[in-house]
Amino acid sequence: MDRLINDFQVSCKNCNLDKICLPRGLSKNEIDDLSIVVRTNSVLQKGESIYRQGDDFKSIVAIKSGSAKLVTNDGQGNEHILNVLLPGELIGFDGMYKNHYTCSAIALEVISYCELPVSHFDELCQKIPGINRELFKHSSETINTIHSQVVCSNYTAEEKLAKFLINLSDRLKARGFSADEFNLPLTRQEMGEHLGMTLETVSRMLKSFQEKRMICVDRKYIQIKDQQSLRNIFNDSNSE
């Protein structure tokens, strides 16, 4: 029975996220080497955490299925959601600096994830230059993601929310999901904590988009009816 499961076990070589996740830039041989040390098939329930702020850095993590949130606590109980994580996204680079994570990764639904343990990290980087370079690229991607969040922080509430919806739509599309029809992984409260506004403002803005026939909202279920108008909200406004 154990054997049977192992035979069917997903590893990097037969993972469908190979165009998004760590293997994306790697050759077949490199992926084989990677597969040996990556731990797969960890499953968490909603609300459980992959790691918590302050934990010792133990691995670079890739979301395999489901969604998660990256949360940080600024010492005074003030929570901020740094990012929403979708399948194929790598997290944990923040933990390398001082060898402990500076934010918590919490499941927003049932998730599965894979890990590249720190115990094999250096070894793998030395052995396979391609993986080393790819890890740097993912770390760099993380930096770019946060940079764009910093830039968005002085957008208006309307611009922020439009950007959030389009960004989510684009990322879902890249993973083979519908770009125009999806469930929000966050509550209004959490969207507020992510975008820097109150939950009331989130609610009002969603309603406003609906009144403008850009989206249809039913609680967490969103249908995007007019992608372009939504994009124009944050593209037009600052131009000329």
Partner DNA sequence: CGTATTATTGACTCCATTCAAAGATAGTGG
Partner DNA sequence: CCACTATCTTTGAATGGAGTCAATAATACG
Which of DNA, a copy of itself, none is residue 219 near (CB under 5 to 8 Å by kind)?
DNA
Q: What is the spatial distance between Cα 176 and Cα 90, in angstroms, rounded to a whole number?
A: 18
Q: Is 240 exposed, middle or buried (0-12, 13-18, 19+ CB in 10 A)?
A: exposed
* Position among 6, 45, 76, 228 found at the interface with a copy of itself (CB under 8 A): 76
Under the binding rule (CB under 8 A), the answer on residue 228 touching a copy of itself is no
Does 153 interact with a copy of itself (rule: CB under 8 A)?
yes
Span of 10-18, 36-44, 139-147, 205-213 interacting with a copy of itself by CB under 8 A:
139-147
What minimum distance in Å lies between the beta carbon of 96 and a copy of itself? 4
What minimum distance in Å lies between the beta carbon of 232 and DNA? 16
Q: Which two tokens stand for residue 58?
A: 């133990």
In this complex, which beta carbon is closest to a copy of itself, that of residue 19 or of residue 80? 80
Tell me: does residue 11 bind a copy of itself (CB under 8 A).
Answer: no
Residue 6 C-beta: closest distance to a copy of itself, Å: 32
Nearer to DNA, 19 or 46 (CB): 46
Neighbours of 113 (CB within 10 A): 24
Closer CB to a copy of itself, residue 70 or residue 107?
70
How far is residue 123's CA from residue 121's CA, in Å, rounded to a whole number? 5
Query: Which of DNA, a copy of itself, none sits in contact with 227, Cβ below 5 to 8 A by type?
Result: none
Of the candidates 149, 165, 182, 222, which one interacts with a copy of itself according to CB under 8 A?
Answer: 149
Looking at 11, 102, 203, 210, which residue binds a copy of itself (CB under 8 A)? Answer: 102
| Rounded Cα gap, residues 163 and 167, in angstroms | 6
Q: 179: buried, middle or exposed (CB in 10 Å: 19+, 13-18, 0-12)?
A: middle
Question: Is position 45 an interface residue for a copy of itself (rule: CB under 8 A)?
Answer: no
Torsional sign, CA 83, 153, 206, 226 = negative
Q: CA–CA distance from 200 to each of 15, 81, 192 (Å)?
A: 40, 17, 8
Q: CA-to-CA distance for 117 and 37, rounded, in angstroms? A: 8
Binding site for DNA (CB under 7 A): 156-158, 187-189, 196-204, 206-207, 217-220
Distance between CA atoms of residues 121 and 134, nearest Å: 13
Across 15-134, where does the E strand assignment appear?
39-44, 49-51, 59-65, 68-73, 79-85, 90-91, 104-107, 111-117
Tell me: does residue 176 bind a copy of itself (CB under 8 A).
no
DSSP state of 115: E
Q: Which residues bind a copy of itself (CB under 8 A)?
A: 72, 74-78, 80, 82, 93-97, 102-103, 122, 125-126, 129, 132-133, 135-137, 139-144, 146-151, 153-154, 196, 235, 237-240
